[in-house]
């Protein structure tokens, strides 16, 4: 059998979608991630970005990146382990550790690599990982690379998690790994209950807070701060590609654990170091997060307004408790059609279809920024209301 046969088989779906005029992926933008973007010469209200605090086009962030570019060049030409560690890498790690109240931090070139590297080097044959069924793909893949076993429990089902914890002997190392904010559904992990089970079964806890850092908590330290369980979370993972306005990721925790990861995580020691402009941009974004808490306030004003209005219109917002607000659609094709119709009406949103969600549970994922204003939001709401009724999603 030809190894490429699977490629021909999987491509047939995208060919059909393009022929039907409903292909919604790889849309090319010609502007920054602002509340309004340009696609194919048309202006769209952006409701599909994770630029929660509106910092990716902030003049101070761009100036910091430009200064780093001028001083250090475009890249490091090697891994952190060997020739790629710059003083700004170390400074960012120190700043993140201070911000999160952790002993140490290690930064990676992407957020995906954090989970691959951390989980694959921490879990050996004597260890077991416990994953929420809706955890991010990078967590799933990181556990696949590890030698330890992994169990998935039903989404936010603490009885199912406890049942699985109970089946593992005390001699095994146990690590619960969970998203703080689930990136498609927009709901939060039940961290207080997870912490209780962690204590009872002598497990460790790692929280992927990619969508929580900068967004949740009084100081923006994420979902552990939001739930007041920071001291009980052993490892916090975060990315630079959301609130921190760049590309990259980090793991924060106890110094000895970070030291082990630093010398054993293949995704770190065999990858080129994060580019200097990205490191400088993330450091400046962190500074802005600390000095401008009003950005987080505006983000939540926008989020609460849209959640309230979507609920009033009759959309099912899937229990969202974050700036990610999905709208239940049902059929995959309806989700594709709605995405394209929204784009024609001047709104950019993202379809979430099977196998990313169970068949028949397709969604339109929307997300919000501190830099949206009421005009942007009301324009989008009018389009959602009209198209939702046209497709029979709402009455």
Catalytic residue numbers read 183, 211, 242
Query: Which secondary structure element, helix H or strand E, spans residue 296, and what is its range?
Result: helix 294-313
Peptide bond into 26 cis (omega under 30): no
User: What residues contact residue 105 under an 8 Å CB cut-off, 6+ apart?
Assistant: 93, 94, 96, 97, 250, 251, 252, 258
Q: What is the DSSP string of 241-286?
A: SSTTSSS-EEEEE-HHHHHHHHHH-HHHHTSBPPPHHHHHHHHHHH
How buried is residue 166: exposed, middle or buried, by Cβ count under 10 Å (0-12/13-18/19+)?
Answer: exposed
Helix (H, G, I), strand (E, B) or coil at 44: strand
3-state secondary structure of 131: strand
Residues 6+ apart with CB under 8 A from 387: 338, 341, 342, 345
Which residues have CB under 8 Å from 368's CB, separation 6+?
47, 52, 299, 302, 303, 306, 323, 325
Q: Is 217 helix (H, G, I), strand (E, B) or coil?
A: coil
- 8 Å CB contact between 217 and 207: no
């Amino acid at each position: 059998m030809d190894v490429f046969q699977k490629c021909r088989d999987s491509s047939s779906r995208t060919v059909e979608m393009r022929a039907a005029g409903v292909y919604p992926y790889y849309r090319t933008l010609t502007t920054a991630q602002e509340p309004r973007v340009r696609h194919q010469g048309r202006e769209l209200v952006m409701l599909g970005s994770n630029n929660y605090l509106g910092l990716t086009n902030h003049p101070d962030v761009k100036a910091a990146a430009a200064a780093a570019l001028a001083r250090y060049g475009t890249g490091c030409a090697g891994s952190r382990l060997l020739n790629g560690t710059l003083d700004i890498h170390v400074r960012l790690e120190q700043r993140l550790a201070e911000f999160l109240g952790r002993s140490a931090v290690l930064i990676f070139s992407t957020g995906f690599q954090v989970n691959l590297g951390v989980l694959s080097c921490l879990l050996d044959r004597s260890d077991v990982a416990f994953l929420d069924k809706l955890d991010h793909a990078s967590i799933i893949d990181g556990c696949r690379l590890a030698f330890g076993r992994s169990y998935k429990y039903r989404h936010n089902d603490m009885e199912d998690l406890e049942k699985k914890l109970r089946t593992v002997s005390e001699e095994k190392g146990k690590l619960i790994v969970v998203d703080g904010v689930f990136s498609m559904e927009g709901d939060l992990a039940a961290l207080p209950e997870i912490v209780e089970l962690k204590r009872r079964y002598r497990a460790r806890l790692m929280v992927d807070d990619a969508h929580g850092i900068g967004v949740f908590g009084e100081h923006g330290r994420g979902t552990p701060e939001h739930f007041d369980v920071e001291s009980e979370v052993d490892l916090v993972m975060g990315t630079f590609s959301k609130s921190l306005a760049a590309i990259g990721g980090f793991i924060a925790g106890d110094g000895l654990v970070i030291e082990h990861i630093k010398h054993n995580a293949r995704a770190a020691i065999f990858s080129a170091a994060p580019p200097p402009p990205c490191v400088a941009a993330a450091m400046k974004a962190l500074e802005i997060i600390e000095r401008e808490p009003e950005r987080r306030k505006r983000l939540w004003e926008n989020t609460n307004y849209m959640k309230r209005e979507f609920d009033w219109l009759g959309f099912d917002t899937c229990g969202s408790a974050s700036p990610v607000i999905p709208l239940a659609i049902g059929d995959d094709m309806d989700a594709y059609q709605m995405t394209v119709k929204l784009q024609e009406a001047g709104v950019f949103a993202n379809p979430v279809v099977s196998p990313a969600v169970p068949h028949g549970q397709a969604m339109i994922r929307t997300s919000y920024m501190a830099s949206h204003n009421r005009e942007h939001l009301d324009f989008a709401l009018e389009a959602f209301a009209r198209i939702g009724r046209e497709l029979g999603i709402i009455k």
